[in-house]
Amino acid sequence: MGVIRRVLRHETVLFSSIGLLLRGRRDVPADGVALPYAGPQRPMIVVFFVVSLVETGAFLLVDFGALGTTLLLVAEIYSAGWLLGYLATMITRPHTLSPRELRVRVVAMFDLRVPLADVESLTQRKETHPSARTLVWGDEELVMAQNMETNVVAVLRRPVVATRPLGRSETVRVVKFYVEDPDLAVRAFDEA
């Protein structure tokens, strides 16, 4: 049951982020610094969204019968909305750094909050990773790559427990992630 609840929560956050985007709001604390990470993925998601809309139009030109057309139209509208929600979530829910915590996220599927007192260092270091997966777990290490790349490394004073998207827990001591402006991340950490 926990997996179903997590999937439903993911979908809820995805679609509610469209509303945040339309209102020009972001999930960033008032005293926090937003560390956007959507840049590398934005063009690809926009292309998928446009292709989805074109595909919807193409399906409407073919007669699949009333039931077939309705089912395809519902599926196409849902997929276009899902892609828009995915992009909206990346934009409205960036990584954040506040005087209290470092928060790193992957859209709506993963959210790690680390108390700032537990962050020993935050440095800029560009690395390329062999896996195309967004979340890669290692020996007390979490890699959160965008296009197989990270550019910020957070070393923690002590291990913290991170919950994987489907509920399993892992211990993490090093977090490597991508931000559009790694200099801003390092400056914000130094000033916090």
Residue range(s) defining the domain that contains residue 4:
1-29+38-93
C-alpha to C-alpha distance for 188 and 137, rounded to whole angstroms: 26
Q: How confident is the model at residue 1 (pLDDT cuts 50, 70, 90)?
A: low
Same domain? For 74 and 100 the reply is no
Same domain? For 16 and 51 the reply is yes
Same domain? For 44 and 71 the reply is yes
Same domain? For 86 and 102 the reply is no
Q: How many CB atoms lie within 10 A of CB 154?
A: 24
Q: Is the pLDDT of residue 14 over 60?
A: yes
Buried b (16+ CB within 10 A) or exposed e, 89-112: bbbbbbbbbbeebbbbbbbbbbbb
Same domain? For 114 and 77 the reply is no
Same domain? For 53 and 124 the reply is no
Q: Is the pLDDT of residue 101 over 90?
A: yes
Percent of the chain topping pLDDT 70: 99
Same domain? For 17 and 55 the reply is yes
pLDDT, tens digit, for every residue of 65-75? 889 889 998 99
Q: What residue spans of the chain are helical by DSSP H?
A: 2-22, 42-61, 65-92, 182-191
Same domain? For 60 and 135 the reply is no
Same domain? For 74 and 51 the reply is yes
Q: Is the pLDDT of residue 118 over 60?
A: yes
Same domain? For 79 and 114 the reply is no
**Distance between alpha carbon 73 and the CA centroid of its chain, in Å?**
27
Same domain? For 89 and 116 the reply is no
**Mode of pairing for the β-strands spanning 141-144 and 169-177:** parallel
The last residue of one of the domains, among 78, 93, 108, is 93
The whole-model pTM stands at 0.86
Same domain? For 2 and 89 the reply is yes
Q: Residues 156, 126: contact at Cβ < 8 Å?
A: no
What is the number of structural domains in the chain? 2
